[in-house]
Structure 1
């Protein structure tokens, strides 16, 4: 009996598996392999950039973009090397053949450039873009709106005289140039402006230039205050605006000598020569200049150089008088030297014959 049981067990282990009719079809359906849906999570990228030298430029300007691309990794922002960066530039702004693509360096930075075309007056937005790939999202950055204009410049600007006498007129000149001026611009308005503080500007005079070139102002308006002066061209759809350098002009009151005299004429050698005169100052109302420093000069006959021989001051009525011992023939004059508020003045020379 034991042996029979053993044989039955062996037979059970080695017998083929019996399948009921129809069972094979049902089992095959249950074990069919189905395709799995796999989602790949991309890392986010951030692109930054700056366009140089500026947004309003002249034709032929080489525009440079400096930027960087970082991916947001598990440990924070990380640079990515070898990413292709595309510059999107409107065709009207682009010179044919300009390179508009580049790749990032090991630190994620990139540098790209394009040359501005000849289409004056055109404007358009420029963008730097990374398209993205199998592991990184795309990103882009706006670099600003580029405007194509003629370059303008004001040179050799000068406002004079300096210093300027109170209530005199100001004269100013300079030159306005426009480049490359493919369209031959005409009718350029220019403004002579002044500012009392160097910040707030007002128009003093204006004119219109037929073509770029020399400009000249000589207004009949009286100037009464110290001021900064400049010339401004406001620009147009085809040409950039420009402002000249500033020129500060100091306004001072005029002075003048009256009744200057050296006497007597002639005079004996060893005698006394009296030199006198009256100084006037011209403010809103002209009047004598009191307590003003006066310098007396003498030039001996046969010489060419004046030498200072005395210093004194005017009295309350603007008069001065100074006496000298007569020794040789010569010419006398009085000088009031320029100060912070007044222009200097020199009297006519008065010759005295010493006998």
Structure 2
């Protein structure tokens, strides 16, 4: 996961971000001055950290007349340690649009998930492009993003 140096007392500390349970240890590979050494293996359990997933993401209709309305929607679910997913209510989901021919995503709205984890927002269609959604996470939830869907404006 990384490399760090010891201080003058031979102590070290490093911080890592993890998104799953697992085993950790520290190792010093043998060199000309010191023999190899490794710390005891410790298990880290991320209890209370939800994995999130955006499901049923879409933008409809897929083909729309210019000036017509497009609904961007989806479902944010969460689970802990592989348990069955449940709804993720009251979470901010950011909706982004990439106009055709552009390389820069534009944030179009922030919508809050309902009690059932669902979110939706209507937009006036003025150009072709692609939509995606991001939940950037919080103290108890990991981030996730949706697939990318294209809308053809005629």
TM-score of the superposed pair, with normalisation by structure 2: 0.78
In the other structure, the counterpart of 1:165 is 19
Q: Call closer, same or farther: CA 1:278–1:158 in 2, change over 3 Å.
A: same
Which ranges of structure 1 fall in alignment gaps of 5 or more residues? 1-151, 193-202, 205-220, 227-250
Matches within 5 A, 1:116-127: none
Quote the residue 1:257 is aligned against. Answer: 54
| Alpha-carbon shift at residue 253 of structure 1 (Å) | 2.0
What value does the CA root-mean-square deviation take over the aligned residues?
Answer: 2.8
Aligned twin of 1:322: 121
| Aligned 8 A contact 2:30 2:37 in 1 | no
Native 8 Å contact 2:27 2:38 kept in 1: no
Out of 282, 289, 294, which is 2:88 matched to? 289
Aligned residues: 144
Match in the other structure for 1:268: 65
| Inter-partner Cα distance in structure 1 for 2:67 and 2:15 | 52
**Runs of 5+ in structure 2 lacking a partner?**
1-8
2:28 equivalent in structure 1: 175
Tell me, what secondary structure is at the counterpart of 1:279?
A: strand
Cα pair distance change 1:354/1:174, threshold 3 Å = farther
- Spell out structure 1 runs of 4+ moving beyond 3 A: 152-155, 157-160, 170-181
1:72 corresponds to which residue?
none
Q: 1:304 aligns with which of 103, 121, 127?
A: 103
Contact 1:159/1:170 (<8 A) preserved = no
1:1-355 aligned at under 5 Å gives the runs 160=16, 162=17, 164-167=18-21, 169-170=22-23, 174-177=27-30, 180=33, 188-192=36-40, 203-204=41-42, 223-225=44-46, 252-284=49-81, 285=83, 286-355=85-154
How far is the alpha carbon of 1:296 from its aligned partner? 0.8
The answer as to whether partners of 1:158 and 1:174 remain within 8 angstroms in 2 is: no
For 1:165 and 1:178, how far apart are their aligned partners in 2?
33
CA drift at 1:175? 3.2
Which protein has greater RCO, CA pairs closer than 8 Å, 6+ apart? 2
Q: Which of the pair is proportionally richer in helix?
A: 1
TM-score under structure 1 length normalisation: 0.36
Cα distance in 1 for partners of 2:11, 2:29 equals: 5
Deviation at 1:191, TM superposition (A): 2.0
Once the two structures are TM-superposed, the CA of residue 180 in structure 1 deviates from its matched residue by 3.9
